[in-house]
Structure 1
Amino acid sequence: MIKISIDAMGGDHGPSVIIPALAKVATRRTDIRFIIYGREEVVRPELAKQPRLAAVSEFVHCEVAVRMDDKPSQALRQGRWKSSMWKAIEAVKSDTADACVSAGNTGALMAMSKFCLRTMATIDRPAIAALWPTTRGESVVLDVGATIGADAHQLIDFAILGTGMARALFGIERPTVGLLNVGVEEIKGQEEVKEAGRMLREANMASMSYQGFVEGDDIGKGVTDVVVTEGFSGNIALKTAEGTARQIGGYLREAMSRTLMAKIGYIFAKGAFDRLREKMDVRRANGGVFLGLNGIVVKSHGGADADGFAAAIEMAYDMVRNRLLDRIEADLDLFHARNPHAAMGRPTAAVEDQE
C-alpha cells in the first residue's frame, strides 16, 4: 500500500475541494491510503459525505492551519508541531506516509519541508519541478520557484534531480537535458549557465544526455525531456504558459459563441475541441514536486479544484511507486563518484535556510 499524507487545510478552498479530490483518487487507485490532517469541525463533515474514502483513510485533528498569506518564518514559528501542514510533512519523515501533498502557502511548505526533512547530503538547495505539457508529450522543468539566482553547481544539482524525476515518471533510462538560456550558442547567457553547461558536457553522465542550451520556445516543443533553469525565470515561464493557455481558451469560447454559424460549426467539431481543451487544461499538470529533500512533497496550486488536486495526488503516487528518491540518490552518487572535484568550492547554504 502507498500512504499519502494530506494537509486538508491548505489552498483557497480547503476540505470542500480536497476531500472530493481524495475520493476521486481512491476510486482509481485501490492500493492507496490517506492520512488526513486538519481541523475536525471542517474536515469530518466533508469526510462523512465520502464513506468509501473514509474506509481507506485515517484522520488526525490539528489545532492550527497555516494561512495562505502567512510569511514562511511566521508559519514555521507558529505552526510548527501543531499545524496540519507540519504534521503532514512530519508523517513522511517518520515513514508513517510515503509522500505529502498540500495546496497551502508555498513559502511555508518549502520552509517546513526543508526544516523537517532536510536536503540530501550533496544538495545545497531544493528545487520545485513541474510537468510541462509539450507537443511531444511532457517534460520536466525545474526550478519553477524555490531558488532564485542559482549558481553553476546548483544548476547541475537541478539537472540530476530532474533526470531522476524523468526516469521515474517517463521510464526513460537516459533522459535528454537542456539548460534554459537566451540563445543556443555557447557564448550567450550568464556565466553561471555557461559554466554549468561546460561541467555537464565534461561529466558525460550515463544517466542523462546533455543537449546544450535551449530557448523559451523550445520548452513547449519538448526539445528535451528535462529543462533546467533557476527559480526566478522558471516561475515566470510557468505562470506565463498557464496564463497563455487560459487566454487562448477564452478566445476560443468567445469565438465559438459569437454567431449562429460558429455555434453550428462547434457542434460538428466538438470532438476536436474537446481534445484541444484537454491538452490545454492546466489542471492536468497541477502539482510541483520539491526535489532534493529526504522525502517526497508535492505542492498543488492553491486555487486548484477537485480534479486539479487529484492530479497532484496522482503525481505523488507515481513518484512513490517508481522509487523517485532511490533513483535520484543513485544518480547523485554516480555523479560525485565520477566528479569528486564538483563538491569543492560549493557555497554553503545560509543558516536561515537550515533552521
Structure 2
Amino acid sequence: MRILIPILGFAPQGGYRVLSELANAWIRLGNECAFLVPSTSAEPYFPTNAKIVRSGRQGLLKDKHSKRKHTGADNVMSLFAGLRQIGKDYDIILANHSLTAWPVRWSKTGKARKFYYVQAYEPHYYPVRQHPIKHLMARLSYLFDLRQITNGGTYKGPGLRPLDVIPPGIDLSIFIPKENPGTFTSDKEIVLGTIGRNEPYKGTSTALAAYRLLKQEEHRLRMNVGFGNVTPADDLSITPIKGDSALAAYYRSVDILVVSCTGQHGAPHYPLIEAMASGTPVVQTGYFPGTPGNSWETADTSVEAVAAAIRQVINSSSEVRSVKAIAAREIVAQTLGWDAVARRFLEHFGE
C-alpha cells in the first residue's frame, strides 16, 4: 500500500511525532510512505524513514529546500499543487490538520482513498474573535467527505463522525520504566517535573503555582521543568531536551510528573503517556490513558486542587505509588506500541 501524508511543514510539536512514527511503522509493516511538504519546510524534527517530497506553488521541486519565507496560504497552495501532480500515484492520502484537509479534499487525485486523522478539536485553538478565518476553516473541514479517524473520543462538533478512535502510540524500547517504578530517588528531596509550554491551556503556569503553594509546607520539593519555555527563577531547574532518549531520561529522573492542562479532557496527552510508560507517578487533570487506578487524577484544574493531588502522591506509601506506576506502564505497553497502533489504521485503509 502506498500512503501519502501532506503536512504544513515539519515541527517539534507532538502531532508531528505521531505522523513520523506512524510512517515508520507502516514502512516496517511492508508499505510505502511519503510526506508531501511545502518547499519552505524545515527538515524533520522527529526522524522518519519516509520519503520527503517538496512542493512549491508551481508544483514539485527538485532541489532539497527553499529558503524563501512563505505564508500559511502559500503552504496550503503548495500542497494543492503537489497533490495535483502526485496524489494519483498513492492508494491512501492522510489529512492530519484542518488546513491539510482542504487540499486533500479538493485536489483531484484519481482513485486514492482520502482519510482525515483528527488529532485535536482545532476550533478550540482558534477563538473566533482572534482567528475567525482559521476557526471557520477548521469547523468546515469536519464537514468534508473524508473518512475520519480521531485520536480521542471526546471531540464534539458538527460533522465529526469518526470511523474509529485510535490514540497515538509510543516507542516502548525508548520509554522504559525506571528500575523501581513509583519510588522516590531520595529521602532528602522530592523532584516534581512538568513540561514547559507557552500555550496557557497546557497548564505549565498551574503546575508551577501548585509547586510553589505546596513548597510552603513541604520544603523537600524541587521543580525540574522539561524543555524550559518558562521564566528562569532560583526555585526552578530547567532541563533542555533534544530527542526521545533524552526525554525518556527526563521522565525517569523526576519523582512526580504534573500534567495540569485545561480543555479537551479525555483526549490523549503525550507527556502523560510518556511518564506512565516510564514508571513515574503522575498527577493529571483528566487525560487518556490516565485513570484513578494508574495516576492521581483531579477533575478540578485549579492550583489548589493540583497541589492537593501532589500532596496525595507524597503522602501515599511507596507500595501504593508502585502499584499505580506499574499499572500505568502495563496499560501503555498493552495498547500503545507503535506497530499495534499502525495496524489499526491499516485495517481501515484496506476496507
Q: TM class by shorter-chain length? A: 0.3 to 0.5
Higher relative contact order (CA 8 A, sep 6+): 1
- Give the TM-score normalised by the residue count of structure 2: 0.36
- Give the TM-score normalised by the residue count of structure 1: 0.36
Bigger helix share: 1
